[in-house]
Amino acid sequence: MESTSTWIITIAVLAAMILFDLGIAVIRRNKKTSMLEASFWTFFYIAAALVFGALLPHWATNQGQKEFFAGWLTEYALSVDNIFVFIIILASLKVQKEAQQLVLLLGIMLTIAIRGLLIPLGAALISRFASIFFLFGIFLIYTAWQLAKENEDEEWKEGKVVALLKKRGFSTFAIALVALGLTNLVFSLDSIPAIFGLTKDPYIVTTANVFALMGLRQLYFLLEGLLARLVFLSKGLSFILGFIGTKMIMEAFHGIGIDEIAGVHIPEIGLEVSLGVIVASLVITTVASLTATRKDGSEIV
């Protein structure tokens, strides 16, 4: 278990990085984000996560390092999928390009705040009720099934809250922020159980989530054109969530003392296997998507 000083230092450093990103977004709020700028900051935050993970054993454990990379990869992949919805929402609301980066960053900060509340709740439930893994596992498998059926080309439909805000005369900026906030809340309900299926350490859960969300604003502009080609991303994420959900149900059986069913031993899936499945799924999904589509996003017949 990480010490209080480790928590304080980590939160202080992460908060400083987020505030720095907010400062850049505010300063450049009236300027378009170039591909060069988006690429630089995207790779910067990815490098920051890799460096953090590489150094993690100095104040945590080697097991914690593996859990961090598995959790970060999963959360980052889910974040990329979230960008699909962000693009549709901002386009539907006709948010100006210059204002998009500030809306995105404020929305991401709201997501961090939401997950900051959900993570302790999830940790408390797991520590008190081992059987909660059954509920988490079933929920993830259901989410995976819904994701597998999802059509990336479906239009975004505004909810009652957004429609009400429009009637009340709220600005497009405010409506977009609320829409992203509500969407991020729904996404958090998927991502929190998913990462708890890989680690029960609140420190790893927190840092993996924050690093996966940092730089998402720049990644939005970097992948805005490429996303049209990632046609199988939802299918890959569906497989990952289904795998983690199944793993959680297996762990739940072990947690209540059931190691076999009808004479068949319930396997224990190690973190190395989980990490391998996550990486392989993302690689296969990306390669298959790029192979199946042209640069303009149309399918290759």
**pLDDT score recorded for residue 150:** 65
Query: Computed from CA positions of residues 247, 249, 252, 257, in that sequence, does the dihedral angle turn out positive or negative?
Result: negative
CA angle 194, 196, 200 (to 5 degrees): 165
Is residue 50 scored above 90 in pLDDT? yes
* Contact indicator for 217, 25 with CB cutoff of 8 Å: yes
Lowest mean per-residue pLDDT among 123-132, 246-255, 259-268, 274-283: 123-132
In this predicted structure, the answer to whether residue 165 has a pLDDT above a threshold of 50 is yes
56 has pLDDT over 90: yes
Pick from 269, 280, 274, 250: which is nearest to 69 by CA?
274
Output the CA torsion sign for 295, 217, 110, 25.
negative
**pLDDT band for position 207 (50/70/90)?**
very high
Which distant-in-sequence residues (6+ apart) come within 8 Å of 245 by Cβ?
A: 136, 137, 138, 139, 140, 141, 143, 144, 197
**With pLDDT > 70 as the criterion, what percentage of the chain qualifies?**
86
Between the ranges 67-71, 197-201, 255-259, where is the mean pLDDT highest?
A: 67-71
Question: Phi and psi at residue 299, in whole multiples of 5°?
Answer: -75, 145
pLDDT at 51: 94
pLDDT at residue 301 in the model: 46
Token pair, residue 179, equals 């829409």
The pLDDT of 115-141, averaged and rounded, is 78
Q: How many whole angstroms separate alpha carbon 291 and alpha carbon 283?
A: 12
Taking residues 280-296, what's their average pLDDT?
A: 80
In this prediction, residues 62-77 reach a mean pLDDT of: 88
How do beta strands 264-265 and 260-261 pair? antiparallel
pLDDT in tens, 91-113: 777 777 667 767 777 777 777 78
What is the arithmetic mean of pLDDT over 232-237?
Answer: 81
The rounded mean pLDDT for the chain is 79
pLDDT value, residue 143: 80
pLDDT at 175 over 70: yes
Mean pLDDT throughout 126-139?
A: 77
Name which residue leads in pLDDT, 197 or 246. Answer: 246
